[in-house]
Structures are given as C-alpha cells and as structure tokens.
Structure 1
Amino acid sequence: MIENIFYLSRSKYRSCGDLKLTSSIELLLAQYLIKAKPSALFIDIDGVITIERGSYIIDLETVDLLRRLMSYEIPVCLVSGNAYPTVLTLQRYLGLSSVFVAENGCVIQINKELTKLCRENLDEIADEIEKIFSLRKSLSNLFRLCDRAFHIPEAMKADREGVRRLERAIMEKYPYINALYTGYVLHIYPKYCSKSNAIKIIAEKMGIELEKAIAIGDSITDIDMIKSVGIGVVVGDADDEAKKEAKMVLPYKASQSTKYFLIALLNYLTRAS
C-alpha cells in the first residue's frame, strides 16, 4: 500500500503549469499500479462530474474523458446518493458502464440485475424527522427505493459545524441510520448500507480487484468508498473529513479536479500500453 497522501496545491501548480499536476498524478498511478491498468473506476456524480458543488450541471468534457477511459476496457461505475431512476438514466444517456450504485449504497445494479440492499422502509422516520427537525423533504423521495433526502435551511449550509450537529442529533435519536449532508441534501439510510459495501458486492460478482481500483468522491458519504480501494481520490473542494482519508487530494473544484485526474490517467495508460 502507498501510505503517503499526495496533496496537490492549487497555487503551486497554477504557477508551474498544469504539466506538473498531471505528472504528479501519473507518479502516483505508476507507483501503485506498476504498469498495470486499474481494475475499475468508481466515481461519484454530484460535486465530482458536475461543474461545481451544489450545481446539477454535468461537465460534458469530463463525461468524454470517462468514455475514453472505457475504451481501455476499464469499468466506469457511477456511485451516487441520487435516487435509483436518476443514476440509471445518467448511466444510460452518458454511455457509462451498466454497473452502478445508487442511494448511497442501498441499491446496486449489475447490467440488468437490480438489487436492493435495504430491508426497511424509511418513510415513517422521514415524516418524524421532517417535523422534529423542521426539514423539508426532497421531492426525489417519490422515486427513492431506500434512502430518503431532506433540504436543509439555506442559512445552515455555510455553517459546517451546525450541519454536523444536526447530523449527530438525528443519528442519536435514530441510532440505526446514517444522517449525512453531501452539499446537496441530507440523506438518511440504514447503517448497514454504504458505498463501500456496495462496491465490494460488485467487485465480488465481477471479479474486480479493489486493491487496483480507483474511487473519486467529494463528501463524507464517499469516505468509506475511497478507503476501500487502492487509490482513493477527492476533489479540491471536498469535505475536510474526506480529504483526510484520501490518497490524493486534487487542486481545483468539482469536475475541474476530476478532468485533470482523468487526463493524467489516460496519459498513464497510453505510456503503460
């Protein structure tokens, strides 16, 4: 295992040029993969392939790079907190691998096989949380199979500690669920569900070696995922908690970070082939 964290400074690489940024990423890949190609790429959607955190606009240049990566026969699997129909639609229309994770690990799909990993319905708890904590339920709950989502007050979004206190208060009242804010909505889902558990199931069924896999995320819901693969990467404006667990913390924000990483990965694959 590579134990050191590559923490790339935005100011440093803007002054020295982007070549050093991609070279540093290639160095990490070469050290860990040793001329092999990664077994898979597991990638979040919101804040990773969107143009900024909080935006729903997908960066099509990033999508193009992901599709180029697939030409090397590397599975590119979306791993998201979004509702199952949303992830299914994005996977299909963006032309990515038909293997994905939705609702923070509560739902997985491998080709045409859908698996719900949750065992209970959270609607009653969601109703209670809405009343007790004065949170507005997301309309996406109409389409969610397991996970439920809430909008937090605008005034709280900039108060990171306030958000964390809210999460803790909900989890203290309902100790069997996670309550985590991603920069978009606050999700609740069973504690036995997680992105890491979902990708482990996928890896077992598809013969993917997770030690040679890459994961890219941005929020606290991605921490277990980036820790369960060989190379865990986060974008430059990721949650601090996620940055502490990543092998590489990129400069720049959201999809801008992701693009530089994907360019370096494609360069590495070209040299290694």
Structure 2
Amino acid sequence: MINGLILDIDGVISGDRKGYNWPNPHPEVIKAIKNIHTKGIPVCLCTGRGSFGIRHLVKLLELDNPHVGDGGAVVIDVLANKIIDAHYIDRSISKAIVSKLLENHLYLELYTTDGYMIEQGTACGITQKHAAVLRHEPTQVSSLLKEASTQELIKIMPIANGPEEKELVIRLFEPYKNQLTIQWGTHPSADPYEFGIITKKGVSKRTAAQKLAQSMNLDLNDVLGVGDTITDWDFIQLCGYAGAMKNATDDLKRNVLTKKHSVIGGSVDNNGLLDIFRHFKLID
C-alpha cells in the first residue's frame, strides 16, 4: 500500500505551457494532489530549486509536510517554516570555486536558505526565466566572491548555455570533487540552459529522501517516487513504487522499469502524472 509520495516538480507537476501547466500546475493535477493529501498521505516535493522557491507551490497545494530543496541540501517544512536538515558549503571551498567560475565568465547564482544572489551587471534573459520559475527575484550584489567568503551557502549554481559551457563547468569543478557534489537540472521553460547544482559533498536527493522519511517515520518501501531526469533516480530507487513521465530521459525510464511496481505515465503537457496516480489507484 502506498503511504507517501515523493515528486519532482519541473517536468512532472509543472511544464512549460503558459496558462495550462505553467507557472502553476494544471487544475486537475492540483486537485488530484490535494485529494491524495487529504486522505492522510504525505506528498513531498523533491527538487533542485531553492527551498524558498517552492513556497508558493507548497501553499497552493496545501502540503503540510517536509519537502526537499536545493538538490537535497535542504529538507524543510515550508508551512511550519522549519528547517529539518541543511548542509552548508565550507566558505574557503565556496570562495575558491566561485573565483574559478567567475574568471571564466560563467553566469552564476549563489544560494542561501532564504534567497539567492547574482552579481551586478550580469542580469540577462536566463535571470528573468529563472526568477519566474522560483517566483523570487535575486538580490544583486557588488561581488559574488565577497559573498562566497562571508555567507553560509547552500548551493552554487552555474547556468550553462549549451554543451560547451556545461563541459567547461565540469572541467572547472573537477579539482573540487572531493569536497563538493554537482548535479544537473533542466526546466521546460528554460531550454537550452542547464542548471549546475553544486552542493556539499554527499548531498543528493537520495540522502535527503532518507532524512525526509526518517522525519515522518515513513517506510520508503511504501512510497511512490516520480521524476523525469536521471538525478531523480537518486530517490526513486529507494521507493517501493516508481513512476516516470513520458517526457523523462530514457535512462530514467529504463531504471524505473526495473522496479517491481512501476509505470511510465504520459507527458507532463498531457498531465501524465494523473496516469501514474490512476495506475496505482490513488485517484479514480
């Protein structure tokens, strides 16, 4: 029996069809999630977004349970305004890698648990797109290097415009792989940009899902996990029930289908999450 849900947001709950499933999920998806939650089943969001960037959605869906933000760096009960778990990057490491990224003229955002920063003069098209995703405007500061030296950072996010910039970020990250972890995320409305999610070593959606389950006394064997990229496999592989969207990456779909209780739903733009809910008899 399914006693809990862990859901990625972008590409699963929300798409890029403005007025249909963006910036808010489709009304039928909202209704289904609310109905499941009112049955006493916790619905936990698990995303690479800044934890502050899911507040609007959590309030909209009325989900009074913990959630995962920043690629696993933060576990937070948004409605109770309570941080359950947080992993901060060592300031000396933050300063070193931020310096390298800035030297190579990469667009960069720095994250705390309360908000995010960009350097003055770097705002561009992706700034507007990302602010729309997060429902939050960045603070513009005179020096990101100075902020990296003084702030408690949860996440460092270089945003790559195409494969060449992504490869550059990967090369620059290499000397710090023993102190930091990097994951990659996308958003349907921000193609072709890819979001580098740099966090403290060991941070992942997997470890965050374990902390999430522990905080709610929830057995992950009784949880349904749903995602759309291979980074979501970090938490889905722990779950007894697994789902992937039609628009998911092929590697995630292959992995999901190795689970005993699994299904591939329709596309996010066809409200495919509802197919998954119906398959597991969570809704009629």
Do these two structures clear the TM 0.5 threshold for a shared fold by scoring above it? yes
The equivalent of 2:155 in structure 1 is 147
Give CA-to-partner distance per residue, 1:113-160, whole Å, 9 cap, x none.
31343132464245234235542013767815502222211xx1xx5x
The equivalent of 2:67 in structure 1 is 100
| 1:70 equivalent among 32, 37, 51 | 37
Which whole-Å CA distance do the structure 1 matches of 2:276 and 2:247 have between them? 15
1:250 aligns with 2:265: yes
Give CA-to-partner distance per residue, 1:228-270, whole Å, 9 cap, x none.
11122221122233223213333424662212212444xx247
Given that 1:62 and 1:255 are in contact with CA atoms closer than 8 Å, whether structure 2 keeps it comes out as no
Give ranges in structure 2 of 5+ residues lacking alignment: 117-152, 188-194, 258-262
Which whole-Å CA distance do the structure 2 matches of 1:140 and 1:117 have between them? 12
Q: Which AA in structure 1 matches 2:176?
A: Y
Structure with greater strand percent:
2
The equivalent of 1:136 in structure 2 is 107
Q: Secondary structure at the match of 1:65?
A: helix
The equivalent of 1:41 in structure 2 is 5
Q: Could you say if the C-alpha distance between residues 149 and 73 of structure 1 is closer, same or farther in structure 2, counting changes exceeding 3 Å?
A: same
Q: Which AA in structure 2 matches 1:216?
A: V
How far apart are residue 52 of structure 1 and its match?
Answer: 3.9
The equivalent of 1:22 in structure 2 is none
How far apart are residue 206 of structure 1 and its match?
Answer: 1.5
Q: Secondary structure at the match of 2:183?
A: strand
Q: Which AA in structure 2 matches 1:183?
A: T
The equivalent of 1:221 in structure 2 is 231
The equivalent of 2:51 in structure 1 is 84
Superposed CA RMSD: 2.9
Structure with greater helix percent:
1
Q: Could you say if the C-alpha distance between residues 87 and 125 of structure 1 is closer, same or farther in structure 2, counting changes exceeding 3 Å?
A: farther
Which whole-Å CA distance do the structure 1 matches of 2:85 and 2:265 have between them? 33
Structure 2 counterparts to residues 186-205 of structure 1, below 5 A:
186-205=196-215
Greater RCO (CA < 8 Å, at least 6 residues apart): 1
Q: Could you say if the C-alpha distance between residues 39 and 57 of structure 1 is closer, same or farther in structure 2, counting changes exceeding 3 Å?
A: same
How far apart are residue 224 of structure 1 and its match?
Answer: 0.8
Q: Could you say if the C-alpha distance between residues 258 and 163 of structure 1 is closer, same or farther in structure 2, counting changes exceeding 3 Å?
A: farther
Q: Secondary structure at the match of 1:169?
A: helix
Given that 2:226 and 2:243 are in contact with CA atoms closer than 8 Å, whether structure 1 keeps it comes out as yes
The equivalent of 2:88 in structure 1 is 119
Q: Could you say if the C-alpha distance between residues 113 and 217 of structure 1 is closer, same or farther in structure 2, counting changes exceeding 3 Å?
A: same
The equivalent of 2:131 in structure 1 is none
How far apart are residue 212 of structure 1 and its match?
Answer: 1.1
1:180 aligns with 2:146: no
Q: Could you say if the C-alpha distance between residues 211 and 66 of structure 1 is closer, same or farther in structure 2, counting changes exceeding 3 Å?
A: same
Which whole-Å CA distance do the structure 2 matches of 1:91 and 1:51 have between them? 17
| 2:14 equivalent among 24, 32, 50 | 50
> TM-score scaled by structure 1?
0.72
Q: Secondary structure at the match of 2:68?
A: strand
Given that 1:47 and 1:255 are in contact with CA atoms closer than 8 Å, whether structure 2 keeps it comes out as no
> TM-score scaled by structure 2?
0.69
Given that 1:103 and 1:147 are in contact with CA atoms closer than 8 Å, whether structure 2 keeps it comes out as yes
Q: Which AA in structure 2 matches 1:213?
A: V
Give ranges in structure 1 of 5+ residues lacking alignment: 1-35
Which whole-Å CA distance do the structure 2 matches of 1:80 and 1:212 have between them? 20
* 165-174 vs 103-112, greater mean Cα deviation: 165-174
